[in-house]
Amino acid sequence: MFNQRIRIVSAAILASFLVLIGALFYFQVIRSAYYRSLSLRNSLRVIPVQASRGGIYDRTGKVFAKDEISFDLVIIPQEVSDIDITLKRLSEITGIKVKKLKKNYKRNYRLPFVPATIAGNLKAEEAFSIEERLTGVGGALICATPRRIYPNNEIASHVIGYIGKIAPTELKKLKAYGYSIKDLVGKSGVEKYYDGYLQGEDGGIQIEVDSRSREVSRLGFKEPRGGKNITLTIDLGLQRFMSMLFENKNGALIVMEAKTGKILGLVSSPEFDPNIFNIGTNRERAKILTDKDLPLLNRAIACSYPPGSTFKVIVSAAGIATGAVKKTTTFMCKGIFFLGKRGFKCWKRSGHGYQNIVDALAHSCNVFFYNLGKVLGAEELHRYALSFGLGAITGIDLPSEIKGVAPGPLWKRFVIKKPWYEGDTINYSIGQGYLLVTPIQMLRVITIVANEGYCPQPYIVEEIEGRRLSRKRDFTTRFRHGTFKLIKEGLFNVVNSPTGSGQRVKVKDLEISGKTGTSQPGTKGDSHAWFTGYMPSDDPKISFVVFIEHGGSGGVEAAKMTRLLATYLKENGFVDSDE
């Protein structure tokens, strides 16, 4: 049995070796002449055909980013016998200095048979006239390659992002997925988050040429496959208007459909022109990268700040939900609150007098919330901050979102390595101290109030090549029915009561609710101005957050900006009822 079966195996091995020898005989003896001719120097040429990247469009189909054909003059190194002579000839033809051509050649050289660009981004007419005069210059040709353009320049730059050459560390990670060193990849925004969809697949032609570099036969062709087109929820007109509001100001502004989570506009200011990263000069790039205002930073999602009085919405919900306050509960505001010997001021020196929760929200009375915060305690404040989604990312489909800090006694012990003092609780109750939030987190907080308990997953991308994406679940937080009634009344009065802190928001024929906030930054400088809100008040369609970095008072600067925004939204039909 044993030896008999081994004999079968050895026969099979012998047969397989004979097959190999037969195949080698075919390749190396019968077809040898053919392969020898192919192997002769210069006979094989690979011309890469770059795939175009998918376009990015606004919700009505207006272009945010797309690829356009650009023409490059390239050299195939192995076909050039004397590079200096060739470059000199090309300099005469193109009118570009030899030194510059040489510099480009050295920079773009990769392998002998891979075309190296020596003059990029030529105009079409220019390219055609150069091509006509190229005959007789061996190894040089005009290549058409797609190039990314952003027609709206800096508009929506933080949503769209920009692209650049893949970094060596990224390449290591992505190589298994078919990326190569020369690929352009998304570096931020939708360009990065959805890179896998936008990225096309490069093609190429492999041809056999004779000694004068004329094509003899085509050995292989792979058609490039373009990337997928992406449609955003962003409205270009609104986005442009929102950018305008931020002229000479830093900050962030987000407008969302309260019931669906569609982001209609998202601005982070200052903005940058993404075109600079593919067709700009090094100096322009350096300017963006070294700007002390950090234009590449997306302040709406990747930067956290103290929320100030906008946090009082959460403290109110905690007070009502735990039963600590009812409509009739009042605290006396004399303009200052004492914890032992230490005094905590209200913004109104003369005091607000007796305040119930509705008044306290409308007037943004600090003393009321100091008292309420003290009654609730730090643990409860921490618990409700978490239940409104602070300290956790919203999961919006943009890269580098951060989660901020929702502090509590245990957190302080571990991170700051100090015990929690009652003074911390007092600061906590007006949104100061260790608490740090991103503007989009505050958008979620106000949307939860608008929808009375839930906030849909905010998102930017509506469709990819005509197909809708499945969404993650909404963010819900359980409260007893009616919890939000008093809060909504308070937020309505912020804008509409004659003593409200946000009267400047008021717009004719549109009811707006919201909360002002003026928070002290951790560093030096003016206070940050906030306004978070929703409209129309009785059936919220739009929720929004306005944040102006070092913008002064929330009731003044942020409220003014909100009024302009609300007017635009009303005039352009964003708040019309569905019927």
Partner 1 sequence: MNKIFKGRDPILLLIVGAIFVIALFSLYSASHCPGSSAVKNFSMQQIVWFGLAAIISIMFIALGYEKWLDYSYVIFGLNLFLLVLVLLVGNTHLGAKRWLSLGLFSLQPSEFCKISFILVFARFLSDNSGRLDSFKTILLSLLLCMVPFLLILKQPDLGTALVFLPIFFVMIFVAGAKIKHLIILVLTGSAALPFMWSMLKVYQRKRLLVFLNPNIDPLGAGYTIIQSKIAVGSGGLFGKGWLSGTQNQLNFLPERHTDFIFSVIGEEWGFAGSVILLGLFLLLVKQLLYIANTTNDQSGKLLITGIITLIWFQVFVNIAMTIGLMPVVGLPLPLVSYGGSNLMTIMVLISLAISVNAKRKIF
Min separation Cβ 213 and partner 1, Å: 17
Cα 450 from Cα 473, distance rounded (Å): 18
Examine residue 286 and tell whether it contacts partner 1 (CB under 8 A). Answer: no
CB atoms within 10 A of CB 85: 11
Q: Which alpha helices (DSSP H) does 229-365 contain, by range? A: 236-245, 276-279, 282-290, 312-322, 357-363
21 versus 69: smaller Cβ distance to partner 1: 21
Binding mask 56-95 for partner 1 (x = CB under 8 A): ----------------------x-----------------
Binder among 69, 85, 111, 415 for partner 1 (CB under 8 A): 111
Examine residue 46 and tell whether it contacts partner 1 (CB under 8 A). Answer: yes
Binder among 41, 283, 349, 478 for partner 1 (CB under 8 A): 41
Q: Which amino acid is at 49?
A: V
Cα 74 from Cα 14, distance rounded (Å): 51
Cα 518 from Cα 211, distance rounded (Å): 75
Cα 258 from Cα 272, distance rounded (Å): 28
Min separation Cβ 74 and partner 1, Å: 15
Q: Which stretch binds partner 1 (CB under 8 A): 33-41, 254-262, 274-282, 304-312?
A: 33-41
Binding mask 207-246 for partner 1 (x = CB under 8 A): ------------xxxx------------------------
- CB burial string 462-495: b at 16+ within 10 A, e below: bbbeeeeeeeeeebebebeeebbebbbbbbbbbb
Binder among 125, 177, 212, 217 for partner 1 (CB under 8 A): 177
Burial class from Cβ neighbours inside 10 Å (0-12, 13-18, 19+) for residue 295 reads buried
Min separation Cβ 44 and partner 1, Å: 8
Examine residue 354 and tell whether it contacts partner 1 (CB under 8 A). Answer: no
Examine residue 183 and tell whether it contacts partner 1 (CB under 8 A). Answer: no
Binding mask 135-174 for partner 1 (x = CB under 8 A): -------------------------------------xx-
Q: Which stretch binds partner 1 (CB under 8 A): 11-19, 427-435, 460-468, 548-556?
A: 11-19
Q: Do residues 242 and 267 touch, judged by C-beta distance below 8 A?
A: yes
95 versus 112: smaller Cβ distance to partner 1: 112
Q: Which alpha helices (DSSP H) does 405-463 contain, by range? A: 409-415, 422-428, 439-450
The residues, ordered by sequence, that sit 6+ positions from 228 with a Cβ below 8 Å of its Cβ are 54, 197, 198, 464, 465
Q: Which stretch binds partner 1 (CB under 8 A): 3-11, 135-143, 230-238, 309-317?
A: 3-11
Of 315, 257, 310, nearest to 486 (Cα)?
315
Q: Which stretch binds partner 1 (CB under 8 A): 17-25, 235-243, 433-441, 501-509?
A: 17-25
Q: Which stretch binds partner 1 (CB under 8 A): 32-40, 401-409, 438-446, 483-491?
A: 32-40
45 versus 363: smaller Cβ distance to partner 1: 45
Binding mask 303-342 for partner 1 (x = CB under 8 A): ----------------------------------------
Q: 482 in the Ramachandran plot: left (φ > 0), alpha (ψ -120 to 50) or beta?
A: left
Q: Which stretch binds partner 1 (CB under 8 A): 111-119, 146-154, 252-260, 412-420?
A: 111-119
Alpha-carbon torsion, ordered 315, 318, 323, 325, to 10 deg: 10
- The full 3-state SS of 143-203, as one line of letters, equals EEEEEEECCCCCCCHHHHCCEEECCHHHHHHHHHHCCCCCCEEECCHHHHHCHHHHCCECE
221 versus 338: smaller Cβ distance to partner 1: 221
Q: What are phi and psi of 334, to 5 degrees?
A: -105, 15
8 versus 293: smaller Cβ distance to partner 1: 8
Cα 194 from Cα 465, distance rounded (Å): 12
User: In angstroms, how far is the first alpha carbon of the chain from the final one?
Assistant: 86
Binder among 63, 89, 113, 477 for partner 1 (CB under 8 A): 113
28 versus 499: smaller Cβ distance to partner 1: 28
Binder among 61, 95, 151, 178 for partner 1 (CB under 8 A): 178
Q: Which stretch binds partner 1 (CB under 8 A): 24-32, 370-378, 462-470, 552-560?
A: 24-32
Min separation Cβ 546 and partner 1, Å: 44
Burial class from Cβ neighbours inside 10 Å (0-12, 13-18, 19+) for residue 510 reads middle
Alpha-carbon torsion, ordered 262, 268, 271, 277, to 10 deg: -60
Binding mask 440-469 for partner 1 (x = CB under 8 A): ------------------------------
Q: How many Cα atoms within 13 Å fall on the side-chain side of residue 521? A: 17
Angle in degrees, CA 571, 363, 527, rounded to 5: 80
Examine residue 206 and tell whether it contacts partner 1 (CB under 8 A). Answer: yes
222 versus 334: smaller Cβ distance to partner 1: 222
Min separation Cβ 318 and partner 1, Å: 43
23 versus 124: smaller Cβ distance to partner 1: 23
Cα 491 from Cα 231, distance rounded (Å): 35
Cα 555 from Cα 505, distance rounded (Å): 8
Max CA distance (Å), the chain: 108
Examine residue 128 and tell whether it contacts partner 1 (CB under 8 A). Answer: no
Q: Do residues 488 and 449 touch, judged by C-beta distance below 8 A?
A: yes
Examine residue 21 and tell whether it contacts partner 1 (CB under 8 A). Answer: yes
Q: Which stretch binds partner 1 (CB under 8 A): 51-59, 93-101, 108-116, 353-361?
A: 108-116
Examine residue 15 and tell whether it contacts partner 1 (CB under 8 A). Answer: no
Cα 335 from Cα 286, distance rounded (Å): 50
Binding mask 377-416 for partner 1 (x = CB under 8 A): ----------------------------------------
Give the footprint of partner 1 on this chain (CB under 8 A).
1-3, 5-6, 9-10, 13-14, 16-17, 20-21, 23-25, 27-29, 31-32, 34-36, 38-41, 44, 46, 48, 78, 111-113, 172-173, 175-178, 202-206, 219-222
